[in-house]
Amino acid sequence: MLRTIIAGFIAGFIAVLVFHQGTAFLLHQFGNRIPAVVAVLGQTSPPFNMAPTRPLGVPVVLSQAFWGGVWGLVLALILVRLRPPAILFSTIFGALALTAVAVTLVPALKGLPTWSGAIPWRGLLYNGAWGFGTALMLVRPLGLRA
């Protein structure tokens, strides 16, 4: 159980830095030049945001990576317990669960306006990439079905 939790946290943390932010990098570098992509996703800001975030003043990207690790341990526990096809399940889990929390719970806790009703396509894409990457790193160590 401890091995699953540690592996999940590490995989989720790294997946933010590589897959989530990698997707942000690709959209920023290439997607901003394609009008159809900008029409759907809007202008994408640069990845690896180092601006301090509340309440501790750590860089945004490290805060995201920490929470990616927390979600990664939750995902690892689900994958070990239920044994779904890991990559497909994790991609969908990341896209839907993380994005739903990001547009509802997080803004409410920060005193910001919650979901406007518009589909957060960029969040679905970033968080789906996170789920894919997390599962990719967990398949072998946890003996999961890809």
Give the residue-averaged pLDDT of 120-132: 95
Give the residue-averaged pLDDT of 58-85: 96
Domain that holds residue 99: 2-45+52-142
Cis status, amide bond into 55, omega within 30 of 0 = yes
Under 8 Å between Cβ of 102 and 120: yes
pLDDT in tens, 27-54: 999 999 999 999 998 899 999 999 998 8
Q: Does residue 115 surpass a pLDDT of 80? A: no
Q: How confident is the model at residue 126 (pLDDT cuts 50, 70, 90)?
A: very high
SS3 call for 145: coil
Give me the number of domains the chain comprises: 1
Under 8 Å between Cβ of 44 and 28: yes
Query: Both ends of the chain: CA-CA distance in Å?
Result: 20
Give the residue-averaged pLDDT of 117-144: 92
Give me the chain's average pLDDT, please: 93
